[in-house]
A and B are shown apart, each in its own frame.
Chain A
Amino acid sequence: MENHDINIFWWISISLCLATIATIVITGIQGRRQPNQIPKKTLFFAIGLLPLSVLYFSDITILQSMKDEQFCNSCHVMQPFVDGLYDEESEGLAAQHVQHIRIRENPCYTCHSDYQILGGVRDKIRGLRHMLAFYIKDENERPELYDPYPNENCFSCHMESSTFMEIEDHADNIEELMTDDVSCLECHGPSHPEE
């Protein structure tokens, strides 16, 4: 989903929210004034149907905006990583990807999301855990990955490249690379500035 799509969803969510609140309040007031003439159809629409559409659109909007690097940057422990992406002197792999426009948007999510079937869901749950940890724990430690960085995340883009297998080291070590016995970062790291 592109960023302008998120804006459309944002506007739809806000409009639906306001419309639903207004309808509930109006039908509620009307119902109190004339208890025998409660507008049941309007009430069903306002309480039964509209809130579900609000949930749908607002969830999509919020979950999509959580992919943005500025969202990650809102936790102070992540600031060196996100700032490093735009540091022209940085030779980190992540900065090279962003500055040479290999990744056009959502760089954190693109590299750190799990590309398995339920990967996106797992990432969102992890994101919520990160937020909770940020507010509960008062730690300024450098965050670390749960597991070693999987090569699969690199392959999701680089495997499609026609030149990937033309590089001798890739062709020679393809089995080790596929099984994560050798990490891409061993040759191409560090991904972010060390400190």
Chain B
Amino acid sequence: MDLPTLKNRIKKHPIFLAEILMIAGLLLALITLLASLPILYLVFFSVGHVMIIAGLFFYFRAVWKDLKKHKVL
């Protein structure tokens, strides 16, 4: 998948970005729990948390926009 296609997909489906970030963050959590290496703890606490929280942010932003679009809010 090239960059313009990816950008287009994210624009069309805003939840796609949230899904990607969330899966990446969760995989990192999974690897950290399985491997129990100090370096992974460090990566999980810095990058993993940011990914999961960013995923949540993009998901709820997409939900908010959807609700506004359908005039629920």
B interface vs A, CB < 8 Å? 13, 15-16, 18-19, 22-23, 25-27, 29-30, 32-34, 36-39, 41-42, 44-45, 49, 52, 55-56, 59-60, 63
Q: Is the beta-carbon distance between A51 and B38 smaller than 8 angstroms?
A: no
Please, which residue of chain B has its CB at the minimum distance from the CB of A62?
B41
Please, which residue of chain A has its CB at the minimum distance from the CB of B51?
A51
Given A55-B52, A58-B33, A71-B38: A47 and B19 interface contact (C-beta under 8 Å):
yes
Residues of chain B within 8 A (CB-CB) of A71 are: 38
**Chain A residues within 8 Å of chain B by Cβ, number:** 33
Q: Is the beta-carbon distance between A135 and B15 smaller than 8 angstroms?
A: no
Q: A113-157 toward B: CB 8 Å interface, digit per residue (1/0)?
A: 000000000000000100110110000000000000000000000
A interface vs B, CB < 8 Å? 10, 13-14, 17-18, 20-21, 24-25, 28, 31, 35, 43-44, 47-48, 51-52, 54-55, 58, 61-62, 65-66, 71, 74-75, 128, 131-132, 134-135
Q: Is the beta-carbon distance between A131 and B42 smaller than 8 angstroms?
A: yes
Q: Is the beta-carbon distance between A18 and B19 smaller than 8 angstroms?
A: no
